[in-house]
Structure 1
């Protein structure tokens, strides 16, 4: 096990989120819009991705598109240092290969899920703060519960005061299925796609091979991850009662049931296109930066 694999995974994700955080803000707002309300029964301050971008800039200013960036950087580093570090370790030790020496899609899913679940649980407090900061907006366009945080540090202080230390992991049950599905799908698809593109000589140039495989992986992830992503956003952003418990949802299944009951299947896919436009380039950039950094390290060590 090479500890630098874990560090490189974290830095690769931090680089990617700097480019994709604005879409993360838009996705969060769209997912919270019309919470537990039937379609057509609520005001929609955001009519779509591009309208949401213009609305956020007009009402909250350009800087609002980078809301939650600081906790997002922390979350991405912790999550992906573990997730991609586990992936690289599994690849190096042939744990993702079958008896014929080929990369196994299902073993890739297993190791992707294992790394993703471990990393996301450790980073859960930062994800909560990220969601709550991204949701906070001008009252004219506010959606979802509005937490009165003034910044990154203030958010942690408020959560600790309201819910105690373990309150920082409230909603963690929501992110575990999200990351398990997303990470397993991404890692398995990326690894298999890279191997097949090389094997059949479709795309053999290293950087283009990584880009093509990563974009394909990101597209598949967006389809699989949106429902659990909506659920995790709702769980993390809901307000709390005097006992520090969520006021709308008791947990993952309760949230999924209520969203489907009141908003239908479409409710579970709110923000899909924002998620897709964010997920595909984010996955591409993370995996591209990861491969480039690994190659640069290996080249340096060989000198």
Structure 2
């Protein structure tokens, strides 16, 4: 059993490892979600047709390094948000809250634990998430979508936002991030724990500690996450990226509910699934890598703990 702050470190490091590889997909997803904002289909120019086309266009117009736009705040976000999210969840699991009789995962308890841990992580990581989105959306005029904030670095962005709108400005949009992460976290961790337990019980692979158990469970979990999380992800991206008036209020949306209403009225149900292909390509590998790293690092720490006891 992994104890103490190490659980939070393992969660953060696991997510950072995944975030480095999947950030280009995040850039493509962000731009596709902002494309045609509050406009009906057919009434706007489509710069990004799909994730592959988005990669091509971004590399051609902005340069290949633009595919890693926002990487620094993305990694800080993963470290804080997922470090806390996975750390709190694992702590609750270690305390016996998630499992019935210390063995079988309780779906109901797992949803509560995952949602709670996701809520805390989303709140703490919110400033980095906002800066990440604003940097990822920046593009040359020919392919620009959404509001362009024109930051040159994470430090400059945070300083500018703080000087203009104070400490509260750094948490603008957190009301959209919390439900996004709560839904994603509850779906991800619950389905991962549930399916991994089923796979282990079915003895599909020889050892219960075989990495393929975690890999298979995380693949299934990634598919479920995309379906439930994408609408909240689109709304969160829109709220965080919108321009802000001198008083600190959003130019397009007054909050989460207002954004849901306006997107539905202007873009229809499909508007909530813009960039779903990029989300699938991104969330799938990110979920797989994060949970696989998380699972293997936990097992490695358990083995070290056992070896230390034996010695």
TM-score with structure 1 setting the length? 0.98
How big is the shift at 1:127? 0.2
Deviation at 1:299, TM superposition (A): 2.1
Q: Deviations over 1:34-89 (max 9, x none)?
A: 00011100111111111111000000011101000000001001111111111211
Q: Does 1:186 align with 2:178?
A: no
Change (3 A) 1:57 1:208: same
Distance in 1 (CA, whole Å) between partners of 2:277 and 2:46 is 17
1:274 & 1:22 partners in 2: Cα distance?
10
Q: Does 1:209 align with 2:219?
A: no
Mapped pair 1:222 → 2:226: yes
Partner of 1:93: 95
Shift of 1:100: 8.1
Distance in 2 between residues matched to 1:201 and 1:231, nearest whole Å: 41
Of 121-130 and 291-300, more deviation after overlay is shown by 291-300
Aligned to 1:280: 284
Q: Deviations over 1:215-252 (max 9, x none)?
A: 11111101110000000000000000111110000000
Partner Cα separation in structure 1 for residue 296 and residue 276 of structure 2: 29
Contact 2:96/2:102 (CA < 8 Å) preserved in 1? no
**Secondary structure of the structure 2 residue equivalent to 1:239:** coil
Change (3 A) 1:94 1:209: same
User: Does the aligned pair in 2 maintain the 1:197–1:204 contact within 8 Å?
Assistant: no
RMSD: 1.1
Structure 1: runs of 5+ lacking an equivalent: none
- Is the contact made by 2:173 and 2:240 (CA closer than 8 Å) also made in structure 1? yes
Q: Which residue in 2 is equivalent to 1:151? A: 153
Residue by residue over 1:172-231, the C-alpha shift from the partner in whole angstroms, topping out at 9 and shown as x without a partner, is 000111000000011110111111001122245420000000111111101110000000
Other-structure match for 1:125: 127
Displaced runs of 4 or more, over 3 A: none
For 1:106 and 1:214, locate their aligned partners in 2 and report how far apart those are by CA, in whole Å: 19
> How far apart, CA to CA, are the structure 2 residues paired with 1:145 and 1:49?
21
- Which 10-residue stretch deviates more, 202-211 or 227-236? 202-211
Q: Does 1:39 align with 2:41?
A: yes
Matched, 1:174 2:176: yes
Deviation at 1:296, TM superposition (A): 1.8
What is the aligned residue count? Answer: 303
Aligned equivalent of 1:17, options 16, 19, 22: 19
State which of 234, 240, 245 in structure 1 corresponds to 2:244: 240
Q: SS at 1:164's partner residue?
A: helix
1:238-282 deviation per Cα after TM superposition (whole angstroms, max 9, x unaligned): 000111110000000000000000000000100001001100110
Kindly tell me: are residues 100 and 150 of structure 1, through their superposed partners in 2, closer, same or farther at Cα, counting changes over 3 Å? closer
The TM-score, its normalising length taken from structure 2, stands at 0.95
The residue that corresponds to 2:6 in the other structure is: 4
Contact 1:25 1:134 in 2 (8 A): yes
Greater CA drift, 202-211 or 11-20 = 202-211
Query: Following the alignment from structure 2 to structure 1, what is the Cα–Cα distance between the partners of residues 75 and 192?
Result: 23
